[in-house]
Chains A and B, each alone.
Chain A
């Protein structure tokens, strides 16, 4: 059983504070959904947890099983058990997913070595419906939105981290791809005890992932937490309505709006 604990996390970019005291605790096997309006700082939270250099952390802590991660470079946070599935996976010309996974495995040390990485990749590809040609090509180069997210999920499945942050993994996906990706990740929560923080705008992903907890994120912090019924409330009333129902004040956006996702179709709201 592992615990990812984020407490009082504050971060800024260029002197502009975006995270304003985030508290979140995720245990192995749990799925936590993070929902919030554009500009609330959800993606920033994902990158600050992973240690992206663009942000200055000004307070708080991120611990994995009690060990502080802040201060470690990104790759060492990943080597200790974090994984970030990106909203916009980066194109890597000439780098096959197998090359990447081999290098990633090398970093986590001999104990973590997979006896036959190639077989593992082939098996996961079959399970996720990733065609062979996408294994042979430069990762994400000329991949469709669905192929990119399937490839993200394949890496997640092979690397078996303790915790995965999914930054809008449902964006750019059609219904079939969403189901494939979400079901594979949901299976990991029981098979390997993967803990998940899923950033999303859409309740459909939460249903597919069987989210245990839903957090409403606004103004750079968690303003409300509850069970899946919170997502239902959102679908019914939107952020402003839900905030009124809960009696909380919805803070103003802290970050410029994220680019609109041209592929996704809102479900319910």
Chain B
């Protein structure tokens, strides 16, 4: 690793370190431009509305170093941590394995490759194509962490489905980050051409070391494209995740997106859909569960820039122990975007006295012929439900688990990839039962 100029910057994320990462020239240029901006970036504070309630005040860039060339991992070294998802996603059309932000494996069914489907490391694809597409969505919504991401972007999953091609089985992307103080910058680009269809499943996992995962996901949907997307976040206990997922939807395009967030110390996800042309539809779903001292932080945007567009959002979470969650969501309807149908709903269960959830839904409506609703709820488990279950002999721990899993059930029932319902239910079930393992013999 080149010695970073820590002395002057206070951290290792210097222009020299960014330049040292190598790769194709378009990528080096992109990094250099970002590194220049980064030098002038003021790290945000929680006084800014978009960072309110977050833990950004505790962010210390000096604790991390950018991962260099996968930290010595040879290409043969596979990233562990696929969990049940790699196996239980069922038949898949392609697989990308990413370690510390670097692609270590990429494959796609030969038949699909022949049809022009690309599943590859973004650093390996045609430079003209990659330079044009990377940033197509995310550049429209920068923040200091996307600038940091761009300054150290050295690889990532690049998935492109040409016009009219339908990919039946999901493409699976497995992200793994490890190493004390490592900062990884995973990038996923999904481009669906006109009338193309694809499903992408991503799983993010990491060790329990102090890790920064600064991720960007771009979902670029051309006219009449249909994309299903599922991200499962199961980071280790020491991981800080600051992620942007941004989708651009063309005419009559549909996005069914969902997130399952269980891991990390502080895990933030900005999830944004730009409905850029008439007939576009975006569904954003999420399930999250925090315990211990975790904070799970979601900022969402349903941005209606065209008339006759539709969006729906349902985020449901639970927090236990001293965990916190934040949901701050905005439906924006721009002038002239008439006949818009937009809904957002955020519901939270607070399971311990020390836990807390913030829920802030917002509307910014600049058109006058729209149908928009928002709903928000934060509350404890219904005591009557626990008592009812107890009168049937259900132990308190089991009762709590039943009620929490039941609370998430309507989201599970709408997951864009039904084959993953069972393993995801199991993951959430394990997490809910984690701190209170129920003993079948405790009745006696």
- Interface, chain A (partner B; CB < 8 A): 50, 52-53, 73-76, 78-79, 82-84, 86, 89-95, 99-101, 103-110, 138, 155, 159
Contacts and interface: CB of A to CB of B under 8 A. Distances in A.
A92 B385 contact: yes
B399 A103 contact: yes
Contacts of A50: 390-391
A79 B390 CA distance: 9
B392 A138 contact: no
A109 B391 CA distance: 16
Interface string B304-336: 000000000000000000000000000000000
Contacts of B90: none
Given A94-B408, A95-B403, A79 B385 contact: no
Interchain residue pairs A-B with the least CB separation, the first 4 = A94-B409, A94-B406, A78-B393, A74-B390
B62 interface: no
B284 to A, nearest CB: 20
A92 B402 contact: yes
Majority secondary structure of chain B interface residues (helix, strand, loop or mixed): helix
Nearest to A82: B391
Contacts of A104: 389, 392-394
Contacts of B390: 50, 73-75, 78
Given A91-B385, A95-B402, A104-B394, 12 more contacts: A73-B396, A79-B393, A83-B392, A90-B384, A90-B388, A92-B402, A93-B407, A94-B407, A95-B403, A103-B394, A105-B393, A109-B440
Contacts of A159: 392-393
6 contacts: A50-B391, A73-B390, A75-B394, A75-B395, A90-B384, A92-B389
B443 A103 contact: no
Contacts of B409: 93-95, 138
A52 B389 contact: no
Interface residues on B, range: 20 to 34
A83 B391 CA distance: 6
A99 B398 CA distance: 10
A64 B390 CA distance: 18
B444 interface: yes
Given A79-B393, A94-B410, A107 B402 contact: no
A53 B385 CA distance: 13
B406 A93 contact: yes
Contact of B392 (A53, A76, A93, A100): A100
A58 B72 CA distance: 71
A263 to B, nearest CB: 20
